[in-house]
Amino acid sequence: MTSLRWRLVITLWAALAVIGSGSAAYSYVYTRQSTNALLDYQLAQIAGFLGAQDFTGITSAAMNPPPPHHEHEDDVIVTVRGRGGKLLYASGNPGPIPPLSTLGYQDMTLQGASYRVFSAQAGTRRIAVAQQLETREEIAADAALSALLPIAILLPLLGLIIIFVIRHQLRPLRQAAAEVAARKPMALQALPITGLPDEIRPLIDAINHLLARLHDALEIEQRFIADAAHALRTPLTALQLQADVLDGSVDSSERAARLDELRAGIRRTTHLADQLLTLHQHPHDAAAVTAHTSLSRAITEIVSNYHAAANKKNLHFHLALTDANDVEVPGDTRQLALIFGNLLDNALRYSAAGGTITITCRRQRSTVNIEISDEGPGLPDTELSTVFARFYRIAGDRTMGNGLGLATVHSLVQLLGGAVSLSNRTDRSGLLACVTLPLITQMQSA
């Protein structure tokens, strides 16, 4: 049973049934006992009253039986005996009570029926007052049952009230649920919170918070798809044209050159698709990162991949990685290769021939800084942070970037719990990219 309403109803009903039947049982037993006590007391009273009477002139009803219609089964019967057990008076049926040896209350059988008897000594007279047990039971039961009546009426009434009240109180919840159910999939505006009970408010607040985040995420997603579609147009146009011009050439060396150009175009498009995928896959919580990698090994490996490109432009690498020894950073080799590869790509692209690209690691207390500096023209100060935006390209930039490299770096570094910043070198012209990554301590890596 998952309905809150029916759970409340059933629970309260069960509690009501237990408490109700308990109190009913108690009042039944109690009322019966008090009625019995009262009847006992009544017998004693009658006996006391009769003890003070003079029976000399009274003819025994037993000797002079009353007409049958006077006969009353529930009547109290009385027997008065004088000295030596001489019958002085006996009332009605079923005849006189036989002489009793003990005084006080006792139960006895008289002509097949059980009786409650009270016997008292008043001077020479012994008075016995008796009442049929069955009658007493009837009276007691009647009294007890009438005591149950309010409970019997109250219980079902309370049951109905419970249903009604719960139903009424849960209405805002039902309305909220109906509101959500009636929504279109992309309708992510907040749920109304007016009139909601305090207990449900946190839930609706949490849902609204989630809806707001979903809305943001969806917007980012849609913008990303639009941007990606736009970004793909240029390389696809190039591919189309590169394929189209293959037909035009009869000269075999020209044909080979055009084919190379087409292959380069395919590489560029593939690279763009990879970057788009990386940017898109990146999950928003850092909990997804479980791998960690040796920093010095990762950087040496990545740099070695760029040696050929550097040689082409007569560029040199200067590595200062002593601080990176025995340092583990979060992320797998692919992620680190994307981060530092993109930064090295930029450094190579904007460096003039013959320059040096310096990579320095600086270990801090709980983080490590990796700095990549080139001897290129640097960036205008206003562009230092905007270049991280997706699809951002610097005005007048004639290099073949697609505007996704730094965005990829940025989102990956964030995913790994680090930070990345760009600054212009102060010692000379050139750009300095600084990646800060958290250190994996021995304990974490164990």
Partner 1 sequence: MRVLLAEDDRMIGTSLVRGLGDDGYAVDWVRDGTSAITALADRQTKYALLLLDWGLPEQDGLAVLTALRHSGQNTPVLMITARDSIDDRVTGLDGGADDYLVKPFQMAELKARMRSLLRRRLGQTGPVIIQGGLSLDPVTRCARLRDIEITLSNREFSLLHALLERPGAVLSRGQLEERIYAWNEAVDSNAVEFLIHGVRKKLGAAIIENVRGSGWRIAAAP
Residue 206 contacts partner 1 per CB under 8 A: no
| Minimum CB distance to partner 1 smaller for 40 or for 261 | 261
When binding is defined by CB under 8 A, the residue of 258, 292, 390, 410 that contacts partner 1 is: 258
| Minimum CB distance to partner 1 smaller for 114 or for 249 | 249
Residue type, 329: V
Residue 225 contacts partner 1 per CB under 8 A: no
Residue 237 Cβ, how far from partner 1 at the closest point, in Å?
4
Residue 302 Cβ, how far from partner 1 at the closest point, in Å?
26
Distance between CA atoms of residues 33 and 86, nearest Å: 35
| Minimum CB distance to partner 1 smaller for 68 or for 396 | 396
Residue 203 Cβ, how far from partner 1 at the closest point, in Å?
42
What is the number of H-type helices and E-type strands within the chain? 10, 12
* Choices 49-57, 79-87, 96-104, 257-265; region in contact with partner 1 by CB under 8 A: 257-265
When binding is defined by CB under 8 A, the residue of 240, 270, 314, 322 that contacts partner 1 is: 240
Among the listed residues 323, 335, 317, 316, the one whose alpha carbon sits nearest the alpha carbon of residue 296: 323
Among the listed residues 277, 345, 359, the one whose alpha carbon sits nearest the alpha carbon of residue 317: 359
Residue 311 contacts partner 1 per CB under 8 A: no
Residue 223 contacts partner 1 per CB under 8 A: no
Q: Is 413 exposed, middle or buried (0-12, 13-18, 19+ CB in 10 A)?
A: buried
Residue 268 contacts partner 1 per CB under 8 A: yes
Residue 397 Cβ, how far from partner 1 at the closest point, in Å?
7
H helix intervals, 92-200? 133-169, 171-181
When binding is defined by CB under 8 A, the residue of 3, 121, 146, 237 that contacts partner 1 is: 237
| Minimum CB distance to partner 1 smaller for 64 or for 252 | 252
* Choices 185-193, 228-236, 330-338, 355-363; region in contact with partner 1 by CB under 8 A: 228-236
Residue 255 contacts partner 1 per CB under 8 A: no
Q: Which two tokens stand for residue 218?
A: 């969806």
| Contact between residue 341 and residue 302 where contact means Cβ atoms under 8 Å apart | yes
* Choices 5-13, 146-154, 233-241, 419-427; region in contact with partner 1 by CB under 8 A: 233-241
Among the listed residues 114, 74, 107, the one whose alpha carbon sits nearest the alpha carbon of residue 93: 74
Residue 411 Cβ, how far from partner 1 at the closest point, in Å?
24
CA 369, 372, 378, 380: dihedral to nearest 10 degrees?
-30
Q: How many CA atoms lie within 13 A of 72 on its CB side?
A: 8
What residues from 371 to 430 belong to the interface with partner 1 (CB under 8 A)?
A: 393, 395-398, 400
Q: Which two tokens stand for residue 75?
A: 């009547």
When binding is defined by CB under 8 A, the residue of 96, 265, 330, 438 that contacts partner 1 is: 265
Cα–chain center distance at 73: 69
23 conformational bin, left if phi > 0, alpha if psi -120 to 50, beta if neither: alpha
Query: Cα separations (Å) of 426 from 75, 299, 375?
Result: 122, 25, 11
Which residues are 433's β-sheet partners? 372, 422
Which distant-in-sequence residues (6+ apart) come within 8 Å of 157 by Cβ?
Answer: none
Here's the x/- map for partner 1, 101-130, by CB under 8 A: it reads as ------------------------------
Residue 244 contacts partner 1 per CB under 8 A: yes
Q: Which residue has the tokens 């997603």?
A: 221
Name the DSSP letter for residue 365.
Answer: S
| Contact between residue 400 and residue 269 where contact means Cβ atoms under 8 Å apart | no
Number of residues that bind partner 1 (CB under 8 A): 26
Residue 18 contacts partner 1 per CB under 8 A: no
When binding is defined by CB under 8 A, the residue of 121, 124, 222, 234 that contacts partner 1 is: 234
Helix axis angle, 201-244 to 252-281, nearest 10°: 180
Q: H or E segment at 105?
A: strand 104-110
| Minimum CB distance to partner 1 smaller for 320 or for 400 | 400
When binding is defined by CB under 8 A, the residue of 38, 44, 122, 245 that contacts partner 1 is: 245
Residue 282 contacts partner 1 per CB under 8 A: no
| Minimum CB distance to partner 1 smaller for 3 or for 240 | 240
Residues that bind partner 1 (CB under 8 A): 230, 233-242, 244-245, 248-249, 258, 261, 264-265, 268, 393, 395-398, 400
